[in-house]
Amino acid sequence: MSQNELEDSEQTSETQTRSWRRQLAGGVRPVQEAHAAQGERTGHRQSFDPTLIPGLLQTSDYARAALTRYTRVHPSISDVEAAVVARMDRQRALGDRSRSFHFLVWEGALVSRVCPPAVLADQLESLVPRLAPGNVRLGIVPFDAELSVPVGVGFSIHDGELVITESWHAEMWLDDPADVALHVRAWEALAESAVYGPAAHRVIGRARRGLGLS
């Protein structure tokens, strides 16, 4: 490989893989702002979340609890409150009827105790209005659904041209057509197992009853 090819390869890798160590050196808020900027460029977003409620659907208390727990593995995080404000600000995009959002959420995300039970109960209740038809569509993949593919990791697809996914050490922004196509196939397979409307409401209700609150 020539020096120019090596430099091009390194530049591509840097563009696609953004280490959390580097990103969080400036705090969590800049990460939220980068996602907000991408959101402004996205007309149609599809996502799958297996472990957490999607950030665009989180309550402030839930977001605060989830972000605080990430400090266990990323102790450099010191601006949780600013990040919560930025995340809540991003949610204004949901009111833009020129954009559409299709969220798929694994039932595990509904019962994951990343926050106190009362906070989780409020979070689950906040999802119910999103079950109505509109530019925001929410589907739940129940535990007992037959799956065409394993649940895997979370990801979002932006206008069928960009995929954002992450691991413990890095966030990946993938725009290679083959990578995007792979994630579209995974998303479509998971969508086949999702329930909507009253059926999704029942799954949310089951999760809330499991909290043992009145």
What CATH number is given to the structural domain containing 160? 3.30.870.10
Tell me if 132 is assigned to some domain. Answer: yes
- Determine, yes or no, domain membership for 3: no
Host domain of residue 44: 11-209
| Residue 1 falls inside a structural domain | no
Q: Provide the H-helix boundaries in 128-196.
A: 177-191
Total domains in the fold of the chain: 1
This model's pTM is above 0.75: yes
142 falls within a domain: yes
Establish if 57 belongs to a structural domain. Answer: yes
Closest CA to 166 of 8, 60, 16: 16
The predicted-structure confidence for 95-146, as pLDDT tens digits, reads as follows: 999 999 999 999 999 999 999 999 999 999 999 999 999 999 999 999 999 9
Which residues 6+ apart lie within 8 Å of 172 measured at CB? Answer: 16, 17, 18, 163, 164, 165, 166
Q: What is the DSSP letter of 26?
A: G
Q: What is the mean pLDDT of the chain?
A: 89
Through-space distance between the first and last CA atoms of the chain, rounded to whole angstroms: 65
pLDDT > 60? residue 64 = yes
Quick: pLDDT tens for 16-60: 787 777 777 777 777 778 887 888 899 999 999 999 999 999 999
Residue 136 included in any domain? yes
Q: In this structure, is residue 134 part of a structural domain?
A: yes
Helices 197-209 and 117-127, axial angle in degrees (round to 10): 170
- 118 assigned to some structural domain: yes
| Two tokens, residue 13 | 């890798």
**Residue 201 to residue 129: CA distance in whole angstroms:** 10
Q: What pLDDT sits at residue 76?
A: 76
